[in-house]
Structure 1
């Protein structure tokens, strides 16, 4: 009798897991994203794709690329243990649907915003497409469409091209030197966006290829913030942040350095504008400060967001352009 009771209790304990297994399998098939090829990773009940995610964490983008190349309609759903399901796509029609025609239906969500809040704050890339997003988009669109700023962008890019990028590449060719082309283009983009956003030249593309403190801290802050999405659970990185250990300790230091840099730039720019009221300030930061409508934290968050947008997207696009055309 005791053995029967033990077996019954054991079965009842595992009954919820059995039900979850069938519900998960049914849901996955209903969504049409279950693997149809041996080349696609198989999700498991409860843990989803976490084994695959962990084993490919050091080659995440290569792994995702291989999945999309084999997935129907170049779209696949990843089920992590923590957070919501992730839909990855390389289908232009779907990208247009999400980012343009039905953009208002898609939000970042609390998991995304929480993970990136330390570095991006309430900047345009970390707020949902509500009033705050529309407000930031409106003022940014207005500023970037002014003739003076567009002219300033042309001058900044032309100067960086003629005085740094082209001479550097010419010297590399003359010396038959091997260079990390993507790193060079990242430096080129970083100098440009800092000039446009802050009115500050980090001189990151000098011939000596210096390790600028702001650039290093910015890289660390973005990389460590992205690593939060790779944790087994959101509770893991939150616990590390609470205890101030490991990657969260390093992230805290990096974010502090980025914010301190931005704070100093804002303070110096305010002093410059006070000392030279007639000074024609045409960088993005100066325009926000001159208007007097925004507090320092708002200005800091939006300028950091533009630095992120202008640096990685530009360098990645240029790298692929040269890779495909050469």
Structure 2
């Protein structure tokens, strides 16, 4: 496996390089709408199917992906047309870049979790026990490990980040998309752990000039995490891990600081290595905040506050759609 030739470095082209002939980049509004549609559809459909209809989790996630795709084709067709015309959609993935970035992101994420466990151990919560069996385990692997990561990459790195790049440049776009993506997972400890992976996803897509590099990273992380959880689910090892979490005590602060230092080192390496390539024109400015972004942020805040609301039990059922 070899990486395809990436676009030229930013230093090798004029700072005001025009877009490729016939290329129309996604707009910030496209990304805001896509992220909102994804978040609402996944939460509502998964919550209704799991919490109300009693369907197994894998099937519910697969149906939520179908609902998201259909609604996107209906309401976001112009945005999706701009996306498939974008060079990042047409550029093949950089395989080795994806694998290296995945390793850095996973190590940084685990380092952050060690730090969180040293300062706020009870925020880690319990290990997710998936209420699924038989053929639904395969459905869960396909939906949660492949389909939904693809949908999230299209929404957050394909449309939202690309639109923000057009308005404010790659650094702002990477930061904004990473923060929104991590916050959408709705659990403080998960947000802290997902931020490094979100940053790597954004930086890898900008570095390789391919949306598919991020898809490979995201799908690999989700698929193998789900596979491990499913293999251990119901086992004696998982029961022991759950018991340890129930009696969780803070790790030594020194160990936590060590985890934080390792995470910072990984993020430094990723940031220096995965320099953005000049596959966008110079930022043109424009409005970023829209009604869809305001609703998206409000929904994220609601999910964060849901454990303290009367809907906490229902919200915990739907949060699994984003907090896999």
- Relative to the length of structure 2, the TM-score reads 0.22
- Relative to the length of structure 1, the TM-score reads 0.22
Name the larger-Rg structure: 1
Q: Which has the higher contact order (CA 8 A, sep 6+)?
A: 2
